[in-house]
């Protein structure tokens, strides 16, 4: 399955982005309100500058304490995150997420942000694909 099919199944919804100058406390609030685990960092909503995930915030809280909540997103984010394109396969995306140990991947086309896929989206797509393959194989074996 291609990333573009995953995005379509999610309804091609707009990606929630955050400015690098926003306070980490506000990023945490957005993550909680939107019930998501990561935010693409971008000033214009199109150019991917970084990514900040709940893990970055939890780690900083553990290492440096609550003072990290007053810092800006740019100080905590991962710069130049690994991105994929609409034409990438779910297998390739899953392999890159597994190797890199991250669960979010911005989708970029011609340098512009067009979506985001999570490991949950990719696993769901893969399971659906496997279920269809199973049904097709059963049909071939049973002769219908
Ligand atoms: P996650 O598993 O996505 O919550 O993120 C785990 C760590 O990887 C955090 O430090 C994130 O900032 C970082 N991260 C998340 N997504 C990506 C990505 N696409 N490329 C590189 N690093 C990422």
**Three-state SS for 85?**
coil
If one counts every other C-beta atom within 10 angstroms of the C-beta of residue 66, the result is 9
Tell me, in angstroms, the distance from the centre of ligand 1 to residue 11's CA.
Answer: 23
**CA distances, 6 to each of 57, 63, 97, 113, 130 (Å):** 28, 36, 16, 15, 15
Ranges in the chain, pLDDT < 50: none
Among 3, 55, 97, the mutation site with the greatest number of ligand 1 atoms within 8 A of its Cβ is: 55
d(CA 132, CA 144): 15
Q: What is the pLDDT of residues 90-119, one digit of tens each?
A: 999 999 999 999 999 999 999 999 999 999
Mutate to test the pocket of ligand 1, among 3, 24, 40, 53 (most ligand atoms within 8 A of CB): 53
101: helix, strand or coil: coil
103 Cα to the center of ligand 1, angstroms: 6
Please report the atom of ligand 1 found closest to the CA of residue 55. 4
At residue 14, the pLDDT reads 84
Say what the pLDDT of residue 13 is: 77
pTM over 0.85, yes/no: yes
Ligand 1, CB cutoff 6 Å, lining residues:
37-38, 51-53, 55-56, 78, 81-82, 100, 102-105
The dotted CATH code for 3-142 is 3.10.580.10
Domain ranges of the chain: 3-142
Say if CB 52 and CB 42 are below 8 A apart.
no
């Amino acid at each position: 399955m291609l990333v573009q099919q995953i995005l379509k199944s999610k309804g091609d919804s707009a990606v929630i982005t955050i400015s690098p100058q926003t306070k980490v406390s506000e990023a945490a609030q957005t993550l909680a309100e939107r019930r998501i685990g990561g935010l693409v960092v971008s000033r214009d909503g199109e150019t991917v500058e970084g990514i900040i995930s709940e893990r970055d915030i939890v780690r900083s809280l553990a290492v440096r304490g609550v003072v990290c909540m007053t810092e800006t997103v740019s100080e905590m984010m991962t710069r130049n995150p690994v991105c994929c394109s609409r034409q990438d396969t779910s297998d390739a995306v899953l392999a890159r997420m597994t190797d890199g140990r991250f669960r979010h991947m911005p989708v970029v086309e011609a340098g512009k942000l067009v979506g985001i896929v999570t490991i949950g989206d990719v696993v769901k797509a893969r399971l659906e694909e496997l279920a269809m393959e199973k049904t097709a194989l059963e049909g071939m074996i049973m002769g219908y």
